[in-house]
Amino acid sequence: MDALPRFIQIDQLVLSGTSVPGGGQATKLVECIAPDGGAYLFKSYTPDVRASVALKPLDAMVAWRLDLSDADRAELDVRCAWPRALVMEGEAVQGVLIRPAPDTMTDVIVHKGTSRPRPRHLSALARPAAQADKLGLRYYEAPVKLAVLARFCGTMLWLHERGYAVGDLQPLNAMFSYEAHTADVMLIDCDACAPLTGRPALLPQDPEIWKTPTPEPFGVRTDLYKFAWMVVRCLQENLECPAPDPDRLRSLMQTRTLDTLVGLCAGHDVPGAGLLLRDKASAWPAMVTPNALYVQTDESMRRLWLPEGAVPPAPAQPWAQDLGGGADLTSTARPRRAPSPAPAPSGEGVPARLVVAVLVVLLIAAVLAFLNR
pTM for the whole structure: 0.82
CB distance 125 to 175 below 8 Å: no
Tens-place pLDDT, residues 70-81:
999 999 999 999
* CATH-assigned architecture of domain 7-98: 2-Layer Sandwich (3.30)
* CA–CA separation, 10 and 39 (whole Å): 15
Q: Where in the chain is the domain with CATH 1.10.510.10?
A: 119-304
Per-residue pLDDT band for 307 (boundaries 50, 70, 90) equals: confident
Indicate whether 313 pLDDT > 90: no
Indicate whether 34 pLDDT > 50: yes
Indicate whether 102 pLDDT > 80: yes
Q: Where in the chain is the domain with CATH 3.30.200?
A: 7-98
Per-residue pLDDT band for 20 (boundaries 50, 70, 90) equals: confident
Indicate whether 51 pLDDT > 90: yes
Greater model confidence, 17 or 133? 133
Tens-place pLDDT, residues 323-342:
344 444 443 333 333 343 44
Percent of the chain's residues with pLDDT above 90: 74
| Per-residue model confidence (pLDDT) at position 63 | 98
Q: What's the mean pLDDT in 65-72?
A: 97
Q: What's the mean pLDDT in 62-89?
A: 98
| Per-residue model confidence (pLDDT) at position 333 | 34
Q: What's the mean pLDDT in 27-38?
A: 95
| Per-residue model confidence (pLDDT) at position 368 | 60
Neighbours of 4 (CB within 10 A): 17
* CA–CA separation, 152 and 326 (whole Å): 26
User: 3.30.1330.60, 3.40.30.10, 1.10.510.10, 1.10.3860.10: which CATH number matches 119-304?
Assistant: 1.10.510.10
Tens-place pLDDT, residues 109-139:
887 788 888 999 999 999 999 999 999 999 9
Greater model confidence, 347 or 25? 25
* CA–CA separation, 206 and 189 (whole Å): 11
Provide CB contacts within 8 A for 137, sequence distance 6+: 107, 124, 127
Average pLDDT, the chain: 87
User: Which helix (H) or strand (E) segment is 272 a member of?
Assistant: none
* CA–CA separation, 102 and 177 (whole Å): 9
Tens-place pLDDT, residues 200-209:
999 998 899 9
Greater model confidence, 126 or 366? 126
